[in-house]
Amino acid sequence: MGKYLRIICTLCLLLTLSAVTSAEDLDEFDAEEATVEVENEPSTVDVPYESPVPIDQSKVYLADHFDDIAQFSKRWIKSTAKKEDISEDIAKYDGVWELEAPLKDALVGDLGLVLKSKAKHAAIASSLIKPFVFNTKPLIVQYEVILQDGQECGGAYLKLLSDGPDTRNLGQFHDKSPYSIMFGPDKCGNDHKLHFIFRHKNPRNGSIEEKHCKKPSERLEDYFSDKLPHLYTLVLNPDNSFEVKVDKTVINSGNLLEDFTPSVNPPREIDDPDDRKPDDWDEREKIPDADAVKPDDWDEDAPAQVIDEFAIIPSGWLEDEPTHISDPDAKKPADWDTEMDGSWEPPLVDNPICTDAPGCGKWEPPLINNPNYKGKWRAPLIDNPNYKGKWRPRRIPNPEFFEDKEPFKMHTVSAVGFELWSMSKDIYFDNIIITDDPYIAEQWAASTFEKKRQKIARDSESVVQRLANLTNDYPILWVVYIIVLGIPVVFVLYLCCKPKSASRMENEELKRAAETKKTDALSPDDAVASGKSQDDKIEENVEDEEDKEKYSDKDEDEDDDVEENEKDSEVISDQNGEGDVPRKRKPRKD
Ligand SMILES: *[C@@H]1O[C@H](CO)[C@@H](O)[C@H](O)[C@H]1NC(C)=O
């Protein structure tokens, strides 16, 4: 049936294409007379865009739409740092950043920050308008990403840099520059991530440890592959709760104290590392019964299986017939050189006389399970009177314990930056905002991200819309649609109502397919096949013949099955392939 579906689909496609083409012809033909209408229908529908302004500047720590090149170059600093401890030639931060419109569905006047280069370290950062101090207000970080070239391996995350001497010179921003929060998408191979990492300072000794958020509940794959704008939002509240959103949908949420590894606070108690299991501690719950004795009639040597004494040779068994005979139809190859190749022997095939008999050759009675088999005797298990339970070390107070109830109070953030390396080019960033009011971030998204998505929706709609308008103007197109939709329906009905003839047609098809394979002309498998000896090819053809026969008994097979079967037979012939020695085909059981 698969073959027919494919044919139907191809037909539909061809007809649709011709319909659209002819419709376009009509369009062109009448263009001069219908200019007024054409003017009413611009080819792409534009969503008006203006560079956004945050509704309350006092609650904003940084907001950049990247539309203003002069402003951008004042604010953002490209890093010229060098990465430590790797070789000189790849250590430099020399990735290329540009302000550009998105490659697809761009709004007029909308630019973004694009990481142009791939396989280079790239870093860029901007100071905040004012530092964000973690205190009583929430932190909202939001930005857009378009992975315009997909993402093979690399990140599109940002870092909120910790205020201090190490981050004062943003021109030296690099991978070790201290950050308070790292947030955003990252992918390598099949590992899709949406990072939310914060760096926590141990209040006992001042050491800093990265805390990684648990995995999001949703699948992330599409965000990396669909090449659409996605909006990433982190909301972090003074009560330590957080939410991670993509395109305004919450995909991860929880609490800084509970949902991060390693956990912020160490355990109160730990196993005493100095406690040792006493030597006489008996952990065995059951022991063998020392008083039990082996019964006298227990024969440890009785075999597990014995010959079935009552078995008789099945009637019709042909003891004098061999199971295999030399293939009577085999012919010595014309180029067989007895001196070189040794004497020729025809390959063995199943003895056809045995096909209808229960068996051929010497008959042996079968083995059956020995009813007297007991195996090795073991004493039964009884409860161990000395059992003390599983040993566990004593618990002691954790000497390194501390309790930080406010991990939200992180190190003050003074700048934001991207510090990236990617195997895919053209990563587009836009409309980054850091604020302490969720509403401001929402409004910002409404005048930026949402317009982008509207524009994309309208652009894809407009193709359908155009066809609809065209149909209004030229109702004759309905005839085309009816034909396009009607032909497959009629065809399917025809197939359903005449199953007999249909399956005959299918067999014809399969035979033709097998025929095509036999010509050894076109299939990609031939690259491999051509490396084989002539012998192999002859054999494959024989197998093809056989496959064909098999398939003519069935109705629902597809090309793929034929191919798979060919692979099977190739494996078999490979197993048997021993250079130029005459091959004996494995008997195949179906
Ligand atoms: C601080 O304490 C943590 C665990 O409590 C430990 O892993 C770390 O090594 C300590 N750092 C310093 C500098 O002592």
pLDDT in tens, 39-92: 444 445 578 999 999 999 999 999 999 999 999 999 999 999 988 777 776 788
Closest Cα to atom 11 of ligand 1: 207
Closest Cα to atom 9 of ligand 1: 207
* 24 shares its domain with 144: no
- Which residues have CB under 8 Å from 45's CB, separation 6+? 455, 458, 459, 461, 462
Is residue 347, in this structure, part of any structural domain at all?
no
* 102 shares its domain with 67: yes
- Which residues have CB under 8 Å from 569's CB, separation 6+? 540, 543, 547
Quote the pLDDT of residue 504.
52
Quote the pLDDT of residue 149.
96
In sequence order, the β-bridge partners of residue 318 are 360
Quote the pLDDT of residue 32.
41
Is residue 72, in this structure, part of any structural domain at all?
yes
Is residue 13, in this structure, part of any structural domain at all?
yes
Quote the pLDDT of residue 527.
41
* 421 shares its domain with 562: no
Shortest-distance atom of ligand 1 to CA 402: 5
How far apart are the CA of 198 and the centre of ligand 1, in A? 17
How far apart are the CA of 447 and the centre of ligand 1, in A? 47
Contact present, 329 and 542 (Cβ < 8 Å): no
* 476 shares its domain with 546: no
* 467 shares its domain with 547: no
Candidate of 210, 400, 404 to mutate for ligand 1, largest count of ligand atoms within 8 Å of Cβ? 400
Quote the pLDDT of residue 341.
84
Q: What are phi and psi of 66, to 5 degrees?
A: 60, 20
Ligand 1 shell residues, CB under 6 Å:
202, 205, 207, 400
Whole-prediction pTM: 0.62
Contact present, 185 and 155 (Cβ < 8 Å): yes
How far apart are the CA of 90 and the centre of ligand 1, in A? 33
**Three-state helix/strand/coil letters over 90-144:** HHEECCCEEEECCCCCCCCCCCEEEECCCCCEEEEEEEEEEEECCCCCCEEEEEE
Quote the pLDDT of residue 479.
81
Is residue 196, in this structure, part of any structural domain at all?
yes
- Number of structural domains found in the chain: 3
Output the domain CATH number for residue 239.
2.60.120.200
Closest Cα to atom 7 of ligand 1: 207
Is residue 138, in this structure, part of any structural domain at all?
yes
* 156 shares its domain with 257: yes
Closest Cα to atom 4 of ligand 1: 400
Quote the pLDDT of residue 506.
53
Quote the pLDDT of residue 6.
54
* 419 shares its domain with 531: no
* 473 shares its domain with 513: no
* 20 shares its domain with 106: no
Candidate of 201, 204, 205 to mutate for ligand 1, largest count of ligand atoms within 8 Å of Cβ? 205
Quote the pLDDT of residue 507.
54
In sequence order, the β-bridge partners of residue 362 are none
* 202 shares its domain with 249: yes
How far apart are the CA of 401 and the centre of ligand 1, in A? 11
- The whole domain housing 565 covers 507-582
* 424 shares its domain with 563: no
Q: Measured between alpha carbons, how far is 112 from 69 in angstroms, rounded to an integer?
A: 10
Quote the pLDDT of residue 513.
52
In 524-577, at which residue ranges do the beta strands (DSSP E only) sit?
none
* 221 shares its domain with 184: yes
Q: Measured between alpha carbons, how far is 23 from 30 in angstroms, rounded to an integer?
A: 11
Which regions of the chain are under pLDDT 50? 1-2, 5, 7, 9-43, 501-503, 514-590
Pairing of strands 241-246, 153-155: unpaired
Quote the pLDDT of residue 271.
97
Is residue 386, in this structure, part of any structural domain at all?
no
Is residue 342, in this structure, part of any structural domain at all?
no
